[in-house]
Structure 1
């Protein structure tokens, strides 16, 4: 009996030790209570839409391959603007910096995340270049598409339907929201931007 307890105790210790090691990073750096900017960027920001909250990454990354830079946008790279979009709480009225301007067709879409969960309705925005084999733009309302955008978890590969479209210049923006720096946030269309007064 004592031999069996010792074996069970050792197995438990190995299992618990493995779980503790799994939680540690392999960088050799000590974890701290204060998250670094990188950790904060990975966490993203809550995005209330349709059936519930979703997470936008703080760093939106590069524009999709094949998208055309705007030749003469109303707002230039690096220009400070005021947002008039309400895609996320705290966004409307926020000051932002233009980090990219593009000529394409932009869509509001509804989809169910690939990992399950509540359907997302009226997501603003995805661009034509973030759709799998979309054909010629603009796609009519109601068109079924597959998303290649990864703005939020469960978006890449999700089946979606087009709710509406616009050919306005579309922008990536950098702004601070609730104390977190959002960079290359995708997307804001021109009618959702105001000059700073």
Structure 2
């Protein structure tokens, strides 16, 4: 029997892919959730549709706006481009899980202090991205705008972030209300400048 090209990839005759589900254990904000998801489900859709965690927003669904940014094992991740099944055993933190004491995370408080939002749609992604960005800078990860790339510096992460560097490091997060000056000020405040 002759196979058709679409059958090579497990596709049905009508051209629709078969639904393949997987059980995945996601640790989100310190709570483990066992969920069954289609293997093509993005982390964003898994968080919003399966776990009812709504702070990561679906702004573009193409990885261009950053409103879906979450932290995975402390690193920034664009959740609309990542498959949920890829994060079995990883620690996922959304804006809801940033503060564990009942108080706001310093960056959340800085966003309030500096009025770093208008409509608020992008704020959870901005805050998660800023938390990850400050950790990257503290750990000595350079950016395009890093002034001092001296590998022999005693503590490469101790350099103060310039406004240009903050803007460059946050360039993957869009704010359609254009609250950028206040976002930079909030990050500066949280960084201790």
Give the TM-score normalised by structure 2.
Answer: 0.31
* Structure of higher CA gyration radius: 1
More strand by share: 1
Larger helix proportion, structure 1 or 2? 2
In the superposition, the TM-score normalised over structure 1's length comes to: 0.30
